[in-house]
Amino acid sequence: MRYRPLTIGPDVVDIWRWPLDVGMDDLPRYVTALSDGEFARASRFVHERDRLRFIVGRGKLREIIGRYLGVPARRLSFACNAFGKPRLAASRPPLHFNLSHTGGMAVLAVSDRYHVGIDIEKIVPLREDVAGHFFSPGERLTLRNVPPDGYLEAFYRCWTRKEAFVKAHGAGLSLPLEAFDVSIDSVGEPKLLRLEGDPEAPAQWRLLNLALPAGFVGAMAALTAGNDISLRYRSDETAKDMREEMPLAAPVRRASSNNQLFNRASRM
């Protein structure tokens, strides 16, 4: 079915969330959305659960991005920047996006104007001093003053804010995790507090908490040059989406699609 392309609007970042564990009936549409390279990557996963989750994550990402661009999911072409951050190979006007997945859940941030990064984590007990390895001295100090019953959530707030910033920044792991500080507290809007060598950065970046099911923590970062932004949570089901996506024309059936799918699926 062809849809009117989704729009985003000024100073809004769209947030999509979906489960990665789906029934076998839902799988074919995601398999057919993948490029050959993605299909090959899926085939290399050792564990079936990881393979299926990758397919659903990447397939749904393609579906969603395709809906903004008015392009079928399969026809999208992705590239990576020098540090591995995925982007659209060609998109005018540009569409920025970033994906994160954990514990069977995926989230996607989409913006038509700002570089974005997103990270979610499932809250699980820590087996080692992760903060000691990855956080900046300032963040470690702040965490030390958190009461024990709030430590785990505070740790994950810090982790996801740092990760979202790294992913939005685009320099990947070449950006030392000690080179910047994020706020850790749960009250108010999260903040980038410091970025080494760039005193203007805290005013240029926005960090926002994600509303997620209990047991998960997440953050979104965007380089807005000081503009305020808000998050808009989107889903296939909301009435607003349905209105925006009134079909433009009668569905076009492609006789070969099922055969292609099952040829592909049988190779997995």
Ligand X SMILES: CC(C)(COP(=O)(O)OP(=O)(O)OC[C@H]1O[C@@H](n2cnc3c(N)ncnc32)[C@H](O)[C@@H]1OP(=O)(O)O)[C@@H](O)C(=O)NCCC(=O)NCCS
- Return residues touching ligand X (CB under 6 A): 54, 57-58, 83-86, 98-101, 117, 119, 134, 159, 162-163, 166-167, 172-173, 177
Which of residues 62 and 101 has its CB atom nearest to ligand X in the complex?
101
What's the rounded Cα separation, in Å, for the pair 53 and 117?
Answer: 20
CB of 240: closest distance to ligand X in angstroms?
26
Which of residues 41 and 232 has its CB atom nearest to ligand X in the complex?
41
Which of residues 138 and 172 has its CB atom nearest to ligand X in the complex?
172
Q: Collect all residues with Cβ–Cβ distance below 8 Å to 73 and sequence separation of at least 6.
A: 33, 59, 62, 63, 65, 66
Direct distance between the N- and C-terminal alpha carbons of the chain, in angstroms, rounded to an integer: 27
Q: Collect all residues with Cβ–Cβ distance below 8 Å to 46 and sequence separation of at least 6.
A: none
Residues 246, 240: contact at Cβ < 8 Å?
Answer: no
CB of 154: closest distance to ligand X in angstroms?
13
For residue 53, the surrounding DSSP H or E stretch is helix 48-69
CB of 84: closest distance to ligand X in angstroms?
4
Which of residues 133 and 253 has its CB atom nearest to ligand X in the complex?
133
CB of 70: closest distance to ligand X in angstroms?
22
The alpha carbon torsion through 77, 81, 84, 87 (nearest 10 deg) reads -40
Which of residues 3 and 86 has its CB atom nearest to ligand X in the complex?
86
3-state SS, 156-195, equals HHHHHHHHHHHHHHCCHHHCCHHHEEECCCCCCCCCEEEE
CB of 225: closest distance to ligand X in angstroms?
20
Which of residues 28 and 172 has its CB atom nearest to ligand X in the complex?
172
CB of 85: closest distance to ligand X in angstroms?
3
